[in-house]
Amino acid sequence: MTYRSKRLGLFSGKESSSRRAIYKGCGYDDEDLSRPLIGVVNTANDAGLGHVHLDRLAERVKAGILQAGGTPFEFGTIATCGAVPIGTPHFRYELVIRDIVASSVEIMAGVQLFDGLVLLASCDSIIPGVIIGGIRSGLPSIFLSGGPQLVTKFEGRSAVMSELDQLVFGSQYGGEDISEKIRYLEDHVCPGAGACSLMGTANTMQILAEGIGMSLPGSATVPAVYAEKERFATQTGRRIVEMVKQDITPDKILKRENLLNGIILTMAIAGSTNAVLHLLSLARELDIDLNLDDFDRISNEVPVISRVIPTGKATVVDLHHAGGVPAIMGELRDYLHKGALSVSGLTAGEILEDRRSRDHSVLTTAKEPVLPNGGIAVIRGNLAPDGAICRTSTISEKTLSFKGPARVFDSDEEGHAAVVSGSVQKGDVVVIRREGPRGAPGMREMMMTTDALVGLGMGQDVFVVTDGRFSGFTEGAAVGHLSPESDAGGPIAVVEEGDIISIDIPGRRVDVQLTEEEITGRLSKWTAPEPKSKRGILGLCAKTALQAHLGAMLDDRI
């Protein structure tokens, strides 16, 4: 039986001869063009650790498409590795790439007249980028993650990339012993392809893609080099053909309940704070009502049940062997919206049925959690009228309430230089501004400053407050995403050296000890600084990026 595309007529009749000729010139024939035409979005490249192996998975995906009676068309889009530009101004591109990737998928799917999409990606902003592209395309779409990398051993424990970062930025290469450790980790901490095996943004987003229903159940945490990952790739290829025939598009799967499940999982795994930006952006694309209040409410209700680094000592490979995302969902069965659909055709309730943790040292139960409340808190106060974000699982009990004098910097580099020079003392509050969506521009991660503090043993003795964001690798005491940001005239713009800053995580407050009249008076004298970038994609970001509490995407609704 010949497949009849919902784009009926686009590849039949003499008026379609030119487009058929183009595809025939690529080696396809009439039979190929009579089947579901599936775009395979492959973010593989030789420069990204999480993406370097994706060609192998793409071949399996295409095999599955062919087996199910579809015709695959593989195409590439850009994908970066955020660990490479750390410590340089080029780190500013790492969030705005989400918009570029989404647009590239949207454009390719539309121009090439595909019937469905397989979205293949591994890291950070690339994952929500391809998913947003799938949403915009309006085509049936399914996501396949590249999976975590395997893990090296160092001094008798599992070591991941964050440990190397802390040694480098905290030590200033001081001492032969430190240098030897740095060199060893440099050679061994990334043993092969895949996302760094801690609960950074990459693995958080891989897990959430499955948790919100965009991936086949059980696929997200499979390590990059396992044969099981290849089997999931083939199954994903088969499934997208079925989805096309059934016209199962992202908007038919992704409802508010799915995104709420994403928030629940984020809290339970103590996921990266970047998940907040990405879930808000997905909601915006789908015109679903979702805001920071949803995150804060769920954070107060849902316990942390994962011991994956940085919350504990386990890795994502350990989490996979403990049962992966279905097991996480099974342990959260009393919290999740069980009717939420998945690309598999199953509901969340059907996926989690009879699934439980196989290793409570890695993944606990909700009744005996690692922490009683979710790993991310929404913070407000006179420094963050529209909200801020804090990863509570990396803050010690003694540091949850903190007060100290402000040390004010206009970039991560300035903050880092002050920390490693010794001019930042225990009890200080490091305020880093002009690193927000428009100020950076691109909302950089404050990795240099926070890693230096942790590496120097002051991660719980100095608080960092910023309108920038944090890596999923980040440990220590920090509040980020202050909104409005400095360059938008937020109160952080007028904080002065020595102002007393108070942080109350249980009370969900971050405040400068000034009256409302004093803050208003300072703001009345404030003038917006010149943008750090005026041209190119960063210049566009400086002009149009939404504030963090809205997801920080480029505003396409101006």
Question: Is residue 342 annotated as a catalytic residue, yes or no?
Answer: no
pLDDT at 390 (0 to 100): 94
Which helix (H) or strand (E) segment holds residue 120: the answer is strand 116-121
pLDDT at 176 (0 to 100): 56
- d(Cα 329, Cα 335) in Å, to the nearest integer? 9
Span(s) in the chain for CATH 3.40.50.2300 = 35-151+191-352
Q: Which of 464, 418, 469 is nearest to 445 (CA)?
A: 469
* CATH homologous superfamily of 377-550: IlvD/EDD C-terminal domain-like (3.50.30.80)
DSSP secondary structure letter of residue 217: T
- Write the CA distances from 487 to 93, 148, 281, 555, integer angstroms: 18, 36, 21, 16
How many Å separate Cα 422 from the centre of its chain?
Answer: 33
Residue type, 201: T
- What architecture does CATH give domain 35-151+191-352? 3-Layer(aba) Sandwich (3.40)
Angle separating helix axes 201-211 and 324-331, nearest 10 degrees: 70
- d(Cα 377, Cα 136) in Å, to the nearest integer? 30
- d(Cα 100, Cα 433) in Å, to the nearest integer? 25
Q: Which of 233, 242, 190 is nearest to 50 (CA)?
A: 190
Span(s) in the chain for CATH 3.50.30.80 = 377-550
- d(Cα 122, Cα 116) in Å, to the nearest integer? 20
Quick check: 188 and 44 in contact, CB under 8 A? no
pTM of this prediction?
Answer: 0.95
- d(Cα 322, Cα 439) in Å, to the nearest integer? 42
pLDDT at 295 (0 to 100): 97
Antiparallel, parallel or unpaired: β 37-42 and 71-76: parallel
Structure tokens at 356: 């439980």
281-51-139 Cα angle (round to 5):
45
pLDDT at 170 (0 to 100): 64
User: What burial letters (b/e) apply to 232-267, b meaning 16+ CB within 10 Å?
Assistant: bbbbbbbbbbbbbbeebbbeebbbebbbbbbbbbbb
Quick check: 125 and 94 in contact, CB under 8 A? yes
**Is residue 24 helix, strand or coil?**
helix
Active-site entry in 122, 141, 471, 502: 471
Query: What is the pLDDT tens value at each position of the chain, 558 positions in all?
Result: 445 555 556 888 888 899 999 999 999 999 999 999 999 999 999 999 999 999 999 999 999 999 999 999 999 999 999 889 887 889 999 999 999 999 999 999 999 999 999 999 999 999 999 999 999 999 999 999 999 999 999 988 898 888 887 777 765 544 456 888 889 999 999 999 999 999 999 999 999 999 999 999 999 999 999 999 999 999 999 999 999 999 999 999 999 999 999 999 999 999 999 999 999 999 999 999 999 999 999 999 999 999 999 999 999 999 999 999 999 999 999 999 999 999 999 999 999 999 999 999 999 999 999 999 988 999 999 999 999 999 998 899 999 999 999 999 999 999 999 999 999 999 999 999 999 999 999 999 998 899 889 888 999 999 999 999 998 778 899 999 999 999 999 999 999 999 999 999 999 999 999 999 999 999 999 999 999 999 999 999 999 999 999 999 999 987
Task: Give me the residue label for tokens 């225990």.
Answer: 426
pLDDT at 181 (0 to 100): 87
pLDDT at 172 (0 to 100): 52
pLDDT at 178 (0 to 100): 81
